[in-house]
Chains A and B, each alone.
Chain A
Amino acid sequence: QVHLVESGGGVVQPGTSLRLSCGASGFTFSSYVMHWVRQAPGKRLEWVAVILYDGSNVDYIDSVRGRFSISRDNSKNTLFLQMNSLREDDTAVYYCARELGLIDYWGQGTPVTVSS
């Protein structure tokens, strides 16, 4: 059974950093492209970042490029999102999700609130 569990969210001030983690189980983690998707309160889902199977290639939505960094540790079946220079409009629930041509499974999400 596919299981994705995010952690690391919290309440932080603007300009600070946060590192999210996503533990994967129930599937061969290294065989899947992985994504972070976020959802601000009352808003639509917004794709944030993607990382290929071995971490060799990554991409980001323009609004986080240069501030966020996605990475993975296939030996520990874990996905990461390093978020720096956080802004109030980064406030959202952050989901990790796996992809094999399409996003098929999502974690339960971890909330991030950026507020002064």
Chain B
Amino acid sequence: EIVLTQSPDFQSVTPKEKVTITCRASQSIGNGLHWYQQKADQSPKLLIKYASQSFSGVPSRFSGSGSGTDFTLTINSLEAEDAATYYCHQSSSLPFTFGGGTKVEIK
């Protein structure tokens, strides 16, 4: 099973600040890493697919990078509506696995 380790667990950020979340895989997964946003009491929404490709309709302030074992989600110029928990997810091999999540709070 591929373990995904996210950091940090929690981040409190002021609007317009830049947010960086990292995800490390326990073995190489190429670009099979995706990022989701989950707001309170909602289902996850896909933000970034295959490490760096933006999903349809996602604001351009969200971007992703990385390959192999180390990946990053960046939110440029954070907005109040971005308060949520962000998860990384690998679809490289079964069982699919998810990171522990990073909760982003707006100061």
Contacts and interface: CB of A to CB of B under 8 A. Distances in A.
A54 interface: no
Given A103-B89, A104-B55, A47 B96 contact: yes
B43 interface: yes
A107 B45 CA distance: 10
Interface in A42-88: 44-47, 50, 59, 61-62
B91 A59 contact: no
Given A102-B49, A103-B96, A45 B44 contact: yes
Interface residues of B, number: 21
Interface in B45-59: 45-46, 49-50, 55
Given A102-B34, A107-B43, A44 B98 contact: yes
B95 A106 contact: no
Interface string B33-48: 0100000001111100
Interface string A8-22: 000000000000000
Contacts of B94: 47, 50, 59
A12 to B, nearest CB: 22
Contact of B43 (A59, A61, A102, A109): A109
B43 A44 contact: no
B64 interface: no
B46 A104 contact: yes
Interface in B73-107: 87, 89, 91, 94-101
8 contacts: A44-B101, A59-B94, A102-B49, A102-B50, A104-B46, A105-B46, A106-B43, A109-B43
Interface of A: 35, 37, 44-47, 50, 59, 61-62, 95, 99, 101-109
Interface of B: 32, 34, 42-46, 49-50, 55, 87, 89, 91, 94-101
